[in-house]
Every structure is written in C-alpha cells, then in structure tokens.
Amino acid sequence: SGPCPKCLIPLRRNGFKLQQFEDASVDVEVETRKRILQDYNKTEDDFESLDEYNEYLVEIEDIIYNLVRNINVTETRERIDQYKRENKEIIMRNRMKLKREEQALDELIEEEKMHSQYKRDEVLRDEAEQRNKKLRVDSELIDSLARSNSDARDIVNTYTHKKEEIPVSKPKALSKPPINFTKFSTGVKFNQSSMPISIKEGPLFKYEPISYQLNGPACPEVTQLESLGYMKYIRRESSQELAGGFLIKTSCLHYVQECVSALYERKTGKFLGNQQNANVKENLNVSPPE
C-alpha cells in the first residue's frame, strides 16, 4: 500500500486487479463505468418520456468520459455527489430491485442446469436399460445354444429378431422451468419495446374528389371513355401490364384532358375562334359552359 509515484493517488493492495485488455485505458474505463453505474442505476420506468431517459444516458457517458480522461474531474465529482444526495432513495430502491432480479436470474440459470442434468441422467438410464436387455438376450441365446437340440441358425435368428424388437429409448419432452421475472438486469423488458408508442389523435381522413381546372370543355369520366368511342383505336393492356397495375384507360384519359385543356379563354369564357379548336369541340362531343 502507498501513493502512486505519478498521480499520488493512495493505492491499496486489495484494490489491484489483473489487466484484462491490451490497452490499460480500456480497463480503467470498464472499472469506472461499473463504479458509476452503481449509483446511476435509474431505469426507463423512472422517467416520464423516452427523451428524458436518453438525456440521462448521455449524462452518464459524459461523466465517464470526463473521469477516464481527467477532464473537469472536480466539477464532475461534485456533480456525482449532488446526484447522490438528490436521488438517494431511488438509488437504494433500484439497487435492491437489481439484486432481486440478479438473484432470480441466478435461480433460473440453476434450474436450467438441473433440468439439463436431469435430461442427461434420464438418457443415460435409458441407454443402460437398453444395454442390459440386449445382454439378457445374449445370455439367453448362449443358454439355448448349449441346451437345445434345434438348429443353431434357427436359434440365432430367433434371438436376433428378439433383440431387434427391443424398443429404442426416445428422450422425453420435459417442461422448461418457468421464468419468474420479465426484465433483464439492465431494466430492459422481455419481448417489449423500450417505450409505448404514443398515439396522436387528430381529425379523421375525409376523402375529397380531385377537381381539375381545365379551362375547356368538361372531360368525360374514365368509365365513359369506352362507351363514347375513345377506346376504339387504342390497344388493350397486355397480361404483364395488367399484373403491374397499368390500365390503358388512365393514359387515354390523360390525353383527352390535354386535348380539352385551355380551349376556353380564361377571362371571357368564350370558345377560341379558330376552326381547328371548333373541330376539336365537335369531335369531343362537348359544349362550352353557359
């Protein structure tokens, strides 16, 4: 025992440990993390939101980083002492809770070991019983060969079939020991997300049909294209296109909308006066609005 010649920190013989990693700074960080987490042992259930819990975890990492790299050590230790004073009851409660969970985990591991050992013993017993049955059949075979006057081949075949009829032992399915707790020692719950998903309530979706401002004659609906003759000279969809969800009516409607778009003047609402647009109006079988 004595002070360190470099940093003058008092050292005790029982405080020395074997180096586990090639880099000694990693050992220092591991030991520092263990020491800090003994006090900073809050779980997710101790916070109202996930953001607060994440900020708490970030604070722990900042403290460990400062202590390992000797950054603002005095302020960091004061920060730790203040945390201990303010959360004394929570720290003690979580320590007891962690101890109970670790004890339950040890009991579960011990039960699983006993369960596995029992299965191995049962398999060994079944194998030994099967060997004994075969040995008894062999002993009976020898006695029959020595005492009987029958053909030796018939006797051997009889006992061979008898040995084959010995049932092969199969391992029995045993029920696993029950799990008495639902959390890991870190506080993370089994088979559950870290935090319940918050449901945001709002107005229900209300469908509103799409309105087009074509500034031209009213365009027919997609269901009217075939009856009005627009689909007469257009090819049908292939099986591959139908499988992909493509409908030729959609493309036809798109081109019809392009034809009637902007055929009226926006201000006067009158049909454009050239003969070409008049022909378009006649072919579409539509009339300008009144």
> What are the extents of the domains in the chain?
2-86, 222-284
Q: Which residues contact 212 (CB under 8 A, 6 or more apart)?
A: 219, 257
Give the model confidence (pLDDT) of 5-59 as tens digits: 766 777 777 767 777 788 878 888 888 898 898 888 888 888 888 888 999 999 9
Cβ atoms of 186 and 101 closer than 8 Å: no
Q: What is the arithmetic mean of pLDDT over 107-113?
A: 86
For residue 65, what pLDDT band results from cuts at 50, 70 and 90?
very high
Distances (CA, A) of 3 to 6, 12, 32, 93: 9, 9, 19, 36
**Using CA atoms, how far apart are residues 81 and 40, in angstroms rounded to an integer?**
11
Cβ atoms of 250 and 234 closer than 8 Å: no
Lowest average pLDDT, out of 41-55, 233-247, 253-267, goes to 253-267
Backbone angles phi and psi of 217, in degrees to 5: -60, 155
**Using CA atoms, how far apart are residues 177 and 103, in angstroms rounded to an integer?**
16
- pLDDT computed for residue 280 by the predictor: 46
- pLDDT computed for residue 59 by the predictor: 92
Mean pLDDT of the chain: 77
% of the chain beyond a pLDDT of 70: 77
The DSSP call for residue 223 is G
| Alpha carbon 30 to its chain's center | 28
**Using CA atoms, how far apart are residues 252 and 89, in angstroms rounded to an integer?**
74
**Using CA atoms, how far apart are residues 55 and 57, in angstroms rounded to an integer?**
5
Q: What is the arithmetic mean of pLDDT over 69-88?
A: 90
User: Does 4 have pLDDT greater than 60?
Assistant: yes
User: Does 178 have pLDDT greater than 70?
Assistant: no
Q: Whose CA is closest to 63, among 54, 52, 74, 53?
A: 74
User: Does 121 have pLDDT greater than 70?
Assistant: yes
User: Does 290 have pLDDT greater than 50?
Assistant: no
**Using CA atoms, how far apart are residues 134 and 84, in angstroms rounded to an integer?**
71
Q: Which two tokens stand for residue 21?
A: 């990693």
User: Does 62 have pLDDT greater than 90?
Assistant: yes
User: Does 276 have pLDDT greater than 60?
Assistant: no
More confident residue, 47 or 160: 47
Backbone angles phi and psi of 52, in degrees to 5: -65, -40
Cβ atoms of 46 and 40 closer than 8 Å: no
Amino acid identity, residue 204? L
- pLDDT computed for residue 24 by the predictor: 78
